[in-house]
A and B are shown apart, each in its own frame.
Chain A
Amino acid sequence: MDRYAYSKRFDVKRYPGFLLITMVCLLILYAPLLVVMVYSFNDSLSITKWGGFSLRWYVDVFTGLEAEKYKRAAWNSLSIALMAATVSTAMATAAAIGMVRGGQFKGKSLSFGLISIPIMVPEIVTAVAMLIFFSTIGLTLGYGSILIAHIVFCIPFAYLPIAARLQGIESSYEEAAQDLYANRWKTFRFVLMPILFPGMLSGFLLAFIISLDDFIITNFIKGAGVETLPTAIFGAVKQGIKPNIMALSTLMLLFSVLMVSLSYIIGRTDRSVDSKSNKD
């Protein structure tokens, strides 16, 4: 479409000022993050005055007074995210195959509604619901309750990319596998899963990030003594923003950027394979 050689003045696509608004948009999105990143290298004890470049707060995060607390919180966050993402991706894969390849069946839209509840319901309501549920059945709040909650609200986030990818895969691959004597499991294992894998990977990554990101629900059901990184940071920030929090935030920020870059790269290489298979 861009090959149409319009002069810029007559390009019907172009609107004056849109570039400026986009820049403002990016400025608002990035300014706070960049400022925190910069100030995390501030040598000064005061968070307002610039006292020269230093890595002292990064050292503080790993060896300071609160290092143990943050290490434990980081371990909880990462281990819960890993398990929640794995379990929810497995369930979402099965569910996506059932929904996308199951044809028309009674309760299909009901099933879809059920899967998407955790996305539709406001987080604070989910948090209340789970707190009430766990206290009603008498489950001690802690690591286990956090893990269960994370698995549940990760399911729709894992489901969406997997189902989207599956919808783009012709069912003739499965038929071909069956035609060539593969049973149902082998059809999944050797044919459908390898083709579906990029979708499963992006579902997994999304679920992983969503789990790492969660504050509200975790804050309600974490019980006493168990902290994840967001709840630990929230507790610390309530006392005021300290430089070591900015260093920790910067580290988490870089981790997130790494993850999103990873999924971006996966998405790109995957698309390049697709476009090749489309040309004849």
Chain B
Amino acid sequence: MDEINTAISIRDVKKRFGDFIAISGMSFNIRDNEFFTLLGPSGCGKTTLLRMIAGFENTSAGEIHLYGQPLENLTPNERPVNTVFQSYALFPHMNVAKNIGFGLHMLGWSKAEIQERVEQMIKTVELHEFAHRKPAQLSGGQQQRVALARAMAPKPKVLLLDEPLSALDLKLRQQMRAELKALQKTTGITFIFVTHDQEEALTMSDRIAVMSAGEVQQIGTPTEVYEQPANRFVAEFIGKTNLIEATVTEVQNDSVVCKLVTGQTINAVTAQNHSEDSSGVSPSANIIAGAQGHISLRPEQLSITEVSSSSSGLQGTLGEAMYLGTDTQFDVNLSDNVCLTVRRQNSVENSNLPEFGEVVELSVAQGAARFLAG
């Protein structure tokens, strides 16, 4: 990748806290002007990585470069990156304007310059009436905007966001997603966004790094990580999926034929590494006949049809149905202990539902079945 387009370069970075390995070695690049998300469950090392970029933690090994410049010897106040903290960390004794102007004040800007920039930022986050309020007098959403304005005021090269939406209620969170995305687009600042919420990651990001247990599992666009999960962890962590144990019986060009644990056979696509610079992804090219793994089937890629003699599809008994508003979710038992979840949109056309206990056939959308090794 072109060096000029790289904002942050993570090179063989490792981090350990005593005996605990928080990050067991990772390398990837974050592009300039990108909304990049570190996604993973708690304890996966995503916040630790963010804190290492900000300078709050040292790397145990490896290097982090910012636009080609190594950050190792710079303290947090010497790094041209700013952070939006999970708790916002708004200074309680300063009003909104003072909070936003703090970084500029520390950088030695003149009073007039500070005032101009603060006003501009207050306008950007729409907090005109609140400039002289203390953080304690603001709502959670307003505090969030102040934190954002404060971090962006010094025009950082990279903005680090540590689960900034987690303290907000659902409605506000959804609204802020759109605003954050828009803000990133208009300012052109590289955003590195940490979250454990896959929906947040999918809706806002240009690219997502899915992390688990101190390793990067997959890096890709939202579509890539959802539709082409690199491994079982990614498939299960992002969205809902059905995983069925399977054995490869035949390897074809870009797909494999698998025998499910229930006895049926199915055509499946193999996981492929679609992003240029990801690590920790199990290679898919060398899958051979006899390989053990799982077939991943997304619930919405399955549809329930009546049994027809001609089809070679999956057959099962219809179990419980759960009404979810826009969708209805069905359990379909392929065998005594393999049960698939199927989602069907509630529309007028397909309102004639099969009955509980009926034998039904499941049709799988083209290319929806994925074979995941391991």
A144 close to B (CB within 8 Å): no
The reply to whether A277 and B85 form a contact with Cβ atoms under 8 Å apart is: no
Stretch at the interface among B99-107, B277-285, B350-358: B99-107
A273 close to B (CB within 8 Å): yes
Considering only residues 227-280 of chain A, those with a C-beta below 8 Å from chain B are 273, 276-277, 280
- Tell me whether A273 and B92 are in contact in the complex, defined as CB-CB below 8 angstroms, given that A179-B54, A179-B82 are known contacts: yes
Top 10 A-B residue pairs of the complex, sorted by shortest distance between their CB atoms: A180-B103, A176-B89, A172-B89, A181-B106, A277-B136, A178-B76, A276-B136, A280-B140, A194-B93, A182-B106
A90 close to B (CB within 8 Å): no
- B102, closest chain A residue (CB): A180
- B160, closest chain A residue (CB): A179
B338 close to A (CB within 8 Å): no
Chain B residues with CB under 8 Å of A195's CB are: 91-93
B150 close to A (CB within 8 Å): yes
Chain A residues with CB under 8 Å of B167's CB are: 280
Chain B residues with CB under 8 Å of A191's CB are: 91
Considering only residues 25-71 of chain B, those with a C-beta below 8 Å from chain A are 54-56
Q: How far is B105's CA from A190's CA once the two chains are assembled, in angstroms? A: 11
Of A181, A276, A280, which is within 8 A of B77 by CB? A181
- Partner-A contacts on B (CB < 8 A): 54-56, 75-78, 81-83, 85-87, 89-93, 102-103, 106-107, 135-137, 139-140, 143, 150-151, 154, 167
CB A38 to nearest CB in B, in angstroms, measures 45
CB A25 to nearest CB in B, in angstroms, measures 38
Chain B residues with CB under 8 Å of A180's CB are: 77, 82, 102-103, 106, 150-151, 154
- Partner-B contacts on A (CB < 8 A): 170, 172-173, 175-183, 186, 190-191, 194-195, 273, 276-277, 280
- Tell me whether A173 and B77 are in contact in the complex, defined as CB-CB below 8 angstroms, given that A179-B82, A280-B167 are known contacts: no
Of A181, A194, A273, A277, which is within 8 A of B103 by CB? A181
CB B204 to nearest CB in A, in angstroms, measures 22
Query: Among the interface residues B93, B151, B154, which one has the most CB atoms of the partner chain A within 10 A?
Result: B93
CB A155 to nearest CB in B, in angstroms, measures 26
9 contacts between A and B (CB under 8 A): A175-B76, A176-B91, A177-B102, A178-B77, A180-B77, A181-B77, A183-B77, A277-B92, A277-B135
Q: How far is B85's CA from A186's CA once the two chains are assembled, in angstroms? A: 20
The reply to whether A179 and B136 form a contact with Cβ atoms under 8 Å apart is: no
CB A112 to nearest CB in B, in angstroms, measures 22
Chain A residues with CB under 8 Å of B75's CB are: 178
Chain A residues with CB under 8 Å of B89's CB are: 170, 172-173, 175-176
Q: How far is B102's CA from A159's CA once the two chains are assembled, in angstroms? A: 29
The reply to whether A175 and B85 form a contact with Cβ atoms under 8 Å apart is: yes
Query: Among the interface residues A176, A180, A182, A183, which one has the most CB atoms of the partner chain B within 10 A?
Result: A180
Query: Among the interface residues A170, A178, A186, A273, which one has the most CB atoms of the partner chain B within 10 A?
Result: A178
- Tell me whether A172 and B102 are in contact in the complex, defined as CB-CB below 8 angstroms, given that A181-B154, A183-B77 are known contacts: no
Q: How far is B93's CA from A140's CA once the two chains are assembled, in angstroms? A: 47
Of A176, A182, A276, which is within 8 A of B83 by CB? A176
- A190, closest chain B residue (CB): B102
Chain B residues with CB under 8 Å of A182's CB are: 77, 102, 106
Q: How far is B93's CA from A160's CA once the two chains are assembled, in angstroms? A: 23
Q: How far is B90's CA from A180's CA once the two chains are assembled, in angstroms? A: 12
Contacts A178-B76, A195-B91 supplied; 11 other A-B pairs, CB < 8 Å = A170-B87, A170-B89, A172-B85, A173-B89, A175-B85, A178-B55, A181-B154, A182-B77, A273-B92, A277-B136, A280-B139
Chain A residues with CB under 8 Å of B54's CB are: 175, 179
- A170, closest chain B residue (CB): B87
The reply to whether A172 and B87 form a contact with Cβ atoms under 8 Å apart is: yes
Chain B residues with CB under 8 Å of A173's CB are: 89, 91
CB B105 to nearest CB in A, in angstroms, measures 8
Chain B residues with CB under 8 Å of A194's CB are: 91, 93
Q: How far is B150's CA from A180's CA once the two chains are assembled, in angstroms? A: 8
- B140, closest chain A residue (CB): A280
The reply to whether B85 and A276 form a contact with Cβ atoms under 8 Å apart is: no
The reply to whether A179 and B76 form a contact with Cβ atoms under 8 Å apart is: yes
Q: How far is B78's CA from A180's CA once the two chains are assembled, in angstroms? A: 9
CB A271 to nearest CB in B, in angstroms, measures 13
CB A171 to nearest CB in B, in angstroms, measures 9
Chain A residues with CB under 8 Å of B106's CB are: 177, 180-183, 186
Q: How far is B81's CA from A197's CA once the two chains are assembled, in angstroms? A: 29
Chain B residues with CB under 8 Å of A177's CB are: 91, 102, 106
Chain A residues with CB under 8 Å of B83's CB are: 175-176, 179
Chain B residues with CB under 8 Å of A179's CB are: 54, 76-77, 81-83, 103, 151
Q: How far is B102's CA from A270's CA once the two chains are assembled, in angstroms? A: 23
CB B341 to nearest CB in A, in angstroms, measures 36
The reply to whether A175 and B103 form a contact with Cβ atoms under 8 Å apart is: no
CB A132 to nearest CB in B, in angstroms, measures 45
CB A169 to nearest CB in B, in angstroms, measures 9
- A278, closest chain B residue (CB): B136
Q: How far is B348's CA from A241's CA once the two chains are assembled, in angstroms? A: 100
Q: How far is B83's CA from A273's CA once the two chains are assembled, in angstroms? A: 25
Q: How far is B98's CA from A191's CA once the two chains are assembled, in angstroms? A: 12
CB A103 to nearest CB in B, in angstroms, measures 11
- B85, closest chain A residue (CB): A172
Q: How far is B136's CA from A170's CA once the two chains are assembled, in angstroms? A: 15
Q: How far is B167's CA from A194's CA once the two chains are assembled, in angstroms? A: 25
Q: How far is B141's CA from A280's CA once the two chains are assembled, in angstroms? A: 9
- A273, closest chain B residue (CB): B136
Q: How far is B91's CA from A173's CA once the two chains are assembled, in angstroms? A: 7
